[in-house]
Amino acid sequence: MSRRRFHKSFLPNRKYTAPSMQGKGGDILNKKILVIALVILVVSGAGAIFMTAGVIAPARPQVYGKYNFVVEIDGIAQAGFREVEGLNATVEVWEYREGTEQTTVRLEPGVARYGPLVLRWGVTENAELWSWMEQTLQGNIERKNISVIILNQKREEVVRYNLEDAWPSSFSVDTLDSQDSGPAIEELVIQYEGLDRVGSLD
């Protein structure tokens, strides 16, 4: 009695592969699959390019240091100042509520206030700022326009803060100390009634 042998196609551990597309119908199907694959590749590639373009960060703006500045009073550049502070504008807020309204309080804008500007500099023989303060002490308020100008590394103007109708209200000299070898400092407090910012790109 002879044994029945398995056909090679049914032998165990055989690796199966997808049947080949033969004939005219198979060629057409292959071409369709190829076209679809190309379309998917192109679309996905374009999407990747679009997404990549969307996340490109814009150029970072130049930031300028606070150590390069000059102060002009009535258009005339003054001697160097050690410190300048008080470039600010604030609008007061007042509360209002009527008895027929809900418990929420309405917040309304009030008057605008500026500064004051404070200038500090090392004591020199120049007495122009003291003379200006002296006019106020004598009851003769002399209003002037002041500009605080930020400079770049090339000492070129990049930002200007214009202060309107400024006048000095306080003058003082820093504490003198025989144990301190630092410079003697004078300080002038200036009131002003308007502030404007002008940039190089405005």
Could you tell me the CATH number of the domain that includes residue 121?
2.30.110.20
Q: Flag whether 34 is in a domain.
A: yes
- Domain count of the fold of the chain: 2
For the chain, strand residue ranges (E) read: 69-73, 76-77, 83-85, 89-96, 106-114, 117-122, 144-151, 157-173, 185-191, 194-199
Checking if the pLDDT of 12 tops 50, the result is no
Please give the Cα distance from 145 to 164 (Å, whole number). 5
- 107 and 192 in a single domain? The answer is yes
pLDDT tens track for 126-161:
999 999 999 999 999 999 999 999 999 999 999 999
Phi then psi for residue 62, to 5 deg, are: -70, 130
- 43 and 117 in a single domain? The answer is no
- 98 and 148 in a single domain? The answer is yes
Domain that holds residue 172: 69-199
pLDDT higher at 57 or 61: 61
- Do the beta carbons of residue 124 and residue 79 sit within 8 Å? yes
User: Could you count the other beta carbons within 10 Å of the beta carbon of residue 185?
Assistant: 16
Please give the Cα distance from 10 to 197 (Å, whole number). 88
- 182 and 127 in a single domain? The answer is yes
Checking if the pLDDT of 11 tops 80, the result is no
How does residue 17 score in pLDDT terms, banded at 50, 70 and 90?
A: very low
pLDDT tens track for 160-173:
999 999 999 999 99
